[in-house]
Amino acid sequence: MSIVIVSHGHKAMLPDCIASLGAALDGLRTEILVIDNLADGGVAALLRHPIRVKTNPIPLGFAANVNAGARHTTGRCLLFLNPDTRHRDGQLANAVGFLDGNAEVGLLGCRLLNPDGTPQQSFRRFPSPAVPLARGLGIDHWPWRPQWYRNALMEQTAPSESPFPVDWVFGAFLLTRRADFARVDGMDEGFRLYYEDVDLAWRMRRVGLQTWVFPSLVFLHEHQRSSARRPFSRTWRWHVGSALRYFVKTIGRAPAGGTF
């Protein structure tokens, strides 16, 4: 398995992220590639062999970095992992085994927790344009949220210890077969940041590959949501632009099998 970690100013988080993997890698032959997107000069010195570091001369979008990571690795399976995650429980070999035993599953997410250990709602239904519009209006802070919105976020999905299907999962943890990733030509590099994970799951569904969550594998995730904290910032503009790109691509083109 090839593990690709894209660092965009996350140098301080990388040692804990990588060290946390430890015994989670038992039973697997693995390689780890870290992509230093800001070329700040510190990542390569911080991480030693056998971890490889690829330094970008200029910053690239997340999708472009993920695709580059796939090109520069050789594992049969690919794990795209955020540097702001830390392994907490479970074995990656079991997740790979689940993929091997279920050819219809193309993307696999894990159970993500907030740093305080509370559940992070990291899997959702494919969004309609109403979802980002409502979030822009601050719906997450309303005292009452409409049923359609809670359904879109799959908030009422009963907790499960067994793997279960969803529409898409956060890009903080994406496990896939290299062959399936190549089948859909990787991530769409037209997304600078945000929605590339939704789009990947949507395009995989179009070719008959499902997205599932493997809940016995658990990672902590310091979800940043920087675009929500800084309206009209560069990341906010990227978020809006990515949402528009996604809806232009997908409206009127239902994925195979509908939604879960």
Q: Is the pLDDT of residue 128 over 80?
A: yes
Burial class (CB in 10 A: 0-12, 13-18, 19+), 30: middle
Given a contact cutoff of 8 angstroms between Cβ atoms, the answer to whether 169 and 105 are in contact is no
Among 104-108, 157-161, 225-229, the minimum mean pLDDT is found in 225-229
Candidate ranges 158-162, 183-187, 230-234, 238-242; pick with highest mean pLDDT: 183-187
Which whole-number Å values give the CA distances from 32 to 19, 37, 53, in the listed order?
12, 16, 9
Q: Is residue 228 very low, low, confident or very high in pLDDT (cuts 50, 70, 90)?
A: very low
Structural domain includes residue 258 = no
CATH of residue 122: 3.90.550.10
Range of the domain at 159: 2-250
Structural domain includes residue 260 = no
Asked whether residue 255 is domain-assigned, the answer is no
CA distance 26 to 1: 12
Tell me whether residue 259 is in a domain.
no
Rounded to an integer, the average pLDDT of 159-178 is 95
Average pLDDT over residues 108-134: 94
256 occurs within a structural domain: no
How many residues are recorded in the chain? 260
Count: domains in the chain:
1
- pLDDT digit string (tens) for 88-119? 999 999 999 999 999 999 999 999 999 999 99
Name the percent of the chain lying above pLDDT 70.
Answer: 94
Q: Residue 210: its pLDDT value, please?
A: 97
Whole-angstrom Cα distance, residue 166 to residue 117?
22
SS3 label, residue 178: helix
Give yes or no for a contact between 191 and 66, defined as CB atoms under 8 angstroms apart: no
114 part of a folded domain: yes
Work out the end-to-end distance of the chain between its first and last CA atoms, rounded to an integer number of angstroms: 28
